[in-house]
Chains A and B, each alone.
Chain A
Amino acid sequence: MKRVFKVSPLLWACIFFYSCSEEEVKVNNDYKFISPVNFPEPTYTFENNQITEAGFELGRHLFYDPILSVDGTVSCNSCHQLSLAFADAQQHPLSIGVNDRLGIRNAPSLANLAYFTEFFWDGGVTHLDHVPINAIEAEFEMDEELSNVVQKLRQSSKYDSLFKQAFDVDEITSPFMLYALAQFTTMMVSANSKYDKYVRNEEESLTEQELRGLESFEAKCSSCHSGVLFTDMSYRNNGISSDFVDLGRATITELESDIGKFRVPSLRNVQRTSPYMHNAKFKTLEEVLDHYESGISISETLDSSLEKGIVFENGEKDDIIVFLKTLTDYEFISDERFTAPQ
């Protein structure tokens, strides 16, 4: 009798649990990395750092927390805003760090970082996990030591439990902080623009002008802005300047032939990421196309494809700009998951 009593609640629990899970088979994909069908394989090392809801949420807290900066005034979000596809505000042509220190380059969009293998305008960082260290320690950004950030997180009241939930660790350490930030940022996949829905045949069509723009874009821009990410990931001198205060790619390679070269940026959400170029030289897409048509500065490392500028037919620039606006992903820039935590 005693024995039966002991077994049966367990049995009931099993039956209950089983029936529950059978009825409510609802997979929550909100915190799972799903690569869009028209995208390549991601390059991020998810095998080391699998995304979980708790890890993502910790990353979200960190992303919006100025605790990362030396005086508690600058967070990642200061220069990377959701509504701008995580690029910087237009009134900040160059990033603004602690004590209003002016940065040296325009903060780029963070969309689709899981597909990149080199980061920053000069490609100096080769793993997404290492990206925040640069932003935290750069004097004109957060100007804080990574070790101090870890100390501050350990002393704060909220982070102990968030790290415990996310990674089952008893002590906060930098690699898990970087993992959490990478979980948050790798999820920033932007692949639901009008253009994406058009190429995936999801009942979306482009207007005549947009199609003309696409055709012109493919003929005149896609040798550099190639593929579904609209960048060939190379470093090029696109004639922005001939006087290189910022050596660009040569900072990393230390090659003279790389002086003045910068990463070809992705054009996804380009309508939202003004100003343009590493040095924020242009405010509008019109100015950008005018530059390629007639504003190229000649220098030794100028990309050979731009020596004579790009020749556009009448109305072609307007068409291209109309097409570029189909790359704006309104679902991405209003995605609730990426908003500031409450």
Chain B
Amino acid sequence: MKLYQLFLLVLVASVILSCDEEENTDSGTMMVYFSHFGGLDHQSGEALELDLAESGSTDYDIHSMEEGIGMFNVATLQYYVTNIKLEGPNGEIFIDPMKVSAKAEEVTGYYLVKEGKSSSKAIMLSNVPAGEYDKITFTIGVPEEGIKEGAAGGVLDPAEGAPFWNWNNGYIGLTVEGMAMNSEQPQVIGDGWTIEEGSYAFHIGGWKDIEETTANNIKTLTFDLDGQLSVNAEQNPAIHMGFDIVQLLEETGVDFASTYAVHSPLLGANFAENLNKAFFLKHTHQTDSHEMKEDDHDHDDHSGEGHNH
């Protein structure tokens, strides 16, 4: 992370914190970080950090033992996180306010987490009521509430990079693209665009429940934390979530020979069903002190207090 980004974050954090102190001493913040992995190291069992490949590169740096998957890389990984909720053992509850608006600055509660863009992987929840929290829930994808209000700005603006299906209107909840050794994707040359031979694109979307049979790929995931995190005006607790692409592909049973272009709700349904196995709780910190200096890689060398492993 660049120095000015760190500076900006500290500034934002301190402004929000100071505001809280003035308005409400019975609340605090919670950071939620997302990190991305490409399988486990077979010797140590440690999750391997995901490094983005150049688009079109055939350097396959990710490996699955599953024959249908084999060697591949990831050039694009992004997903929407929405409807974040924190809960505690004594009835504590925090629901991140959701708002769709044409004005970018008024959109709240919708996050587009994108590998390679570190600011997108750190979500700050503010005005969290003071208390103990031991559970986090969030949704992957943009549910109906994000569609039915019509045109939207900010992370929901398709002209600003929001992944959007124009023919079957809705946001792509999860995008994974790259090259795979086993992909049977032939080269396709269109008017001003090319689909590379051996590439793959998994676009998981679809929010409509038409006659209750059509794939609704908006999935809500809940994770128990590895202990209790105290939220108050003084501390900066943090939850670190992980996402393992190898786990997703293995659980989904992907065979790149036949599955390399997923662009419809039905084809994406199996992926969506297995999101709960691809996302995992990595760890939590009672005090989030130095996280932002890294580009969300492994935090195991971290020496903060209250490390719950």
Which A residues fall within an 8 A CB radius of B?
A: 45, 48-49, 124-130, 133-134, 136-139, 143, 145-147, 149-150, 167, 169, 173-176, 178-179, 182, 251-255
- With contacts A254-B215, A255-B211 taken as known, whether A133 is within 8 angstroms of B104 at the C-beta atoms is no
A125 to B159 alpha-carbon distance, docked (Å)? 17
Q: Does B9 contact A (CB under 8 A)?
A: no
CA distance A127 to B150 in the complex (A): 6
For A130, give the chain B residue with the smallest CB separation.
B169
Q: List residues of chain B with CB within 8 A of the CB of A127.
A: 147-151, 169
A179 to B150, CA, bound (A): 9
| A173-B157, A173-B159 known; A179+B102 contact, CB < 8 A | yes
Tell me which residues across on chain A come within 8 A of B191, comparing CB atoms: 139, 143
Q: Give every chain A residue within 8 A of B157 (Cβ-Cβ).
A: 173-175
Stretch at the interface among B23-31, B60-68, B85-93, B160-168: B160-168
Contact A252 B168 (CB under 8 A): yes
User: Known contacts being A174-B157, A255-B211, A255-B214, is A133 close to B164, with CB within 8 Å?
Assistant: yes
Query: Which residues does chain A contribute within 8 Å of B158, judged by CB atoms?
Result: 133, 146-147, 174
Q: A126-B169, A253-B214 are known contacts; what are 19 more A-B pairs with Cβ within 8 Å?
A: A48-B101, A49-B150, A49-B151, A124-B167, A130-B147, A134-B166, A134-B167, A134-B169, A138-B167, A150-B159, A174-B157, A174-B158, A174-B159, A175-B153, A176-B151, A178-B151, A179-B150, A182-B151, A254-B265
Would you mind naming 18 contact pairs between A and B with Cβ atoms under 8 Å apart?
Answer: A45-B150, A125-B168, A125-B169, A126-B208, A127-B150, A129-B150, A136-B166, A137-B166, A146-B158, A178-B150, A179-B150, A179-B151, A252-B168, A253-B210, A253-B213, A254-B215, A254-B266, A255-B214
Is B186 an interface residue, CB under 8 A from the partner? no
Chain A: minimal CB distance from B44 (Å): 43
Complex-state Cα separation, A336 to B110, whole angstroms: 42
Q: Chain B nearest CB: distance from A250 CB in Å?
A: 10
B190 in the interface, Cβ–Cβ < 8 Å?
yes
Instruction: Evaluate contact between B213 and A255: CB separation under 8 angstroms.
Output: yes
Minimum distance in angstroms from A248 CB to a CB of chain B: 13
Chain A residues whose CB sits within 8 angstroms of the CB of B213 once the complex forms:
253, 255
State which of B150, B190, B210 has its C-beta within 8 Å of the C-beta of A128. Answer: B150
B6 CB to closest chain A CB (Å) equals 27
Q: Across the interface, do A48 and B149 meet the contact criterion of CB distance under 8 Å?
A: yes
Pairwise interchain contact A133-B166, C-beta atoms closer than 8 A: yes
Cβ contact within 8 Å between A129 and B167: no
User: Is A147 in contact with B151, judged by CB distance below 8 angstroms?
Assistant: no
A178 contact set on B, CB distance < 8 A: 150-151
Rounded to whole angstroms, the CA-CA distance of A126 and B164 in the bound complex is 13
**B139 contacts the other chain (CB 8 A):** no
| A175 lies within 8 A of B166 (CB) | no
User: In the assembled complex, which residues on chain A have CB atoms less than 8 Å from the CB atom of B211?
Assistant: 253, 255
Nearest-neighbour CB distance to chain B for A131, whole angstroms, equals 9
- Is B152's beta carbon under 8 Å from chain A? yes
Is the C-beta of B220 less than 8 angstroms from some C-beta in chain A? no
The smallest C-beta distance from B169 to any residue of chain A, in angstroms, reads: 4
Q: Smallest distance from the beta carbon of A145 to chain B beta carbons, Å?
A: 8
Chain A, residue nearest B267 (CB): A254
How close is A56's CB to chain B, nearest CB, in angstroms?
16
The reply on B264 being an interface residue by CB < 8 A is: yes
Q: Does B214 contact A129, Cβ atoms closer than 8 Å?
A: no
Q: Which residue of B lies closest to A176 (CB)?
A: B102
- Shortest Cβ distance from residue A236 to the other chain B in the assembled complex, whole angstroms: 14
Name the residue of chain A whose CB is nearest to the CB of B164.
Answer: A133
8 Å CB interface, B197-224 against A: 208, 210-211, 213-215
Question: Are B151 and A175 within 8 A (Cβ)?
Answer: yes
Chain B contacts for A49, CB-based, 8 A: 102, 150-151
A255 to chain B, nearest CB (A): 6
Across-interface contacts of B148 in A (CB, < 8 A) = 45, 126-127
Bound-state CA distance A137–B214 (Å) is: 25
Please give, as numbers and ranges, the residues of chain A lying within 8 Å of B152 by CB-CB distance.
175
In the complex, are the beta carbons of B168 and A124 less than 8 A apart?
yes
Residue of A nearest to B144 (CB): A126
B158: nearest chain-A partner, CB-CB: A146
Q: Give bound CA distance, A90 to B103, whole Å.
A: 40
Docked-complex contact B265 and A130, CB < 8 angstroms: no
A255 vs B215: C-alpha distance when bound (angstroms): 10
Q: Is the CB of B149 within 8 A of A147?
A: no
Interface string of B97-138 (1 = CB under 8 A from A): 000011110000000000000000000000000000000000
Q: Find chain B residues with CB under 8 A from A253 CB.
A: 210-211, 213-214
